[in-house]
Chain A
Amino acid sequence: EPEVTQTPSHQVTQMGQEVILRCVPISNHLYFYWYRQILGQKVEFLVSFYNNEISEKSEIFDDQFSVERPDGSNFTLKIRSTKLEDSAMYFCASSDDRVGGYTFGSGTRLTVV
């Protein structure tokens, strides 16, 4: 069964450093998403991406965050200057239409120290 692949599975970074989280969505999917879960809290939406541009973003997704689909297969989330409160499990997901279930990756655990 097709999978969404995320790398790395765990990243530790120093506060203020830039990180890039990588995702390979399912190849024929059209919609791509990033979500995150801070420990003990709900899974929360960051951004959705369709037709090579951001279609929706949450208040969390400020100027420190950016997404890119550089080569038609990868979908990356960049955090320019990480803060302690960015520590969370980051999930990439993709779907083939707006009303289908999402396929999630297994997540990248980001720890900012």
Chain B
Amino acid sequence: ILNVEQSPQSLHVQEGDSTNFTCSFPSSNFYALHWYRWETAKSPEALFVMTLNGDEKKKGRISATLNTKEGYSYLYIKGSQPEDSATYLCALQTGANNLFFGTGTRLTVIP
């Protein structure tokens, strides 16, 4: 079992603030790094899948970076909105066809 860590565990920000959180993972056996957004009572929604060291991906106000050599990925949210409130999960995909998830960062955006 590979240890994927996310920090912080939870975060409260004011509407309009920008924020970021971290996913760290063992850099050996790296195949891909996934980010998912999971709202309560809904299904986890894929945000990004990154495979290359130095990858940066963007979707609206959300972006992510990847450093496979040091084993971390950052997720950034610019100008947080209440609808961004969710748990953000990262997951490491090794050469095998399964994902090792972190515990998630629970974001609450206060209007």
Contacts and interface: CB of A to CB of B under 8 A. Distances in A.
Nearest to B6: A42
Contacts of A35: 99, 101
Interface residues of B, number: 26
A42 B97 contact: no
B30 interface: no
28 contacts: A4-B43, A33-B98, A41-B103, A42-B101, A42-B103, A43-B89, A43-B91, A44-B101, A45-B98, A48-B97, A50-B97, A55-B97, A56-B96, A58-B98, A91-B43, A99-B31, A99-B32, A99-B49, A99-B93, A100-B46, A100-B49, A101-B34, A102-B46, A102-B99, A104-B36, A104-B44, A106-B42, A106-B43
Interface of B: 4, 31-32, 34, 36, 41-49, 51, 89, 91, 93, 96-103
A56 B98 CA distance: 8
A31 interface: yes
A25 interface: no
Interface residues of A, number: 26
B41 A106 contact: yes
Interface in A44-90: 44-45, 48, 50, 55-56, 58
A79 B71 CA distance: 36
A112 B108 CA distance: 32
A2 B100 CA distance: 25
B97 A31 contact: yes
A48 B45 CA distance: 19
Nearest to B48: A101
B20 to A, nearest CB: 20
A98 B89 CA distance: 19
A68 B32 CA distance: 27
A86 to B, nearest CB: 19
Contacts of B4: 42
Contacts of B98: 33, 45, 48, 56, 58
B97 to A, nearest CB: 5
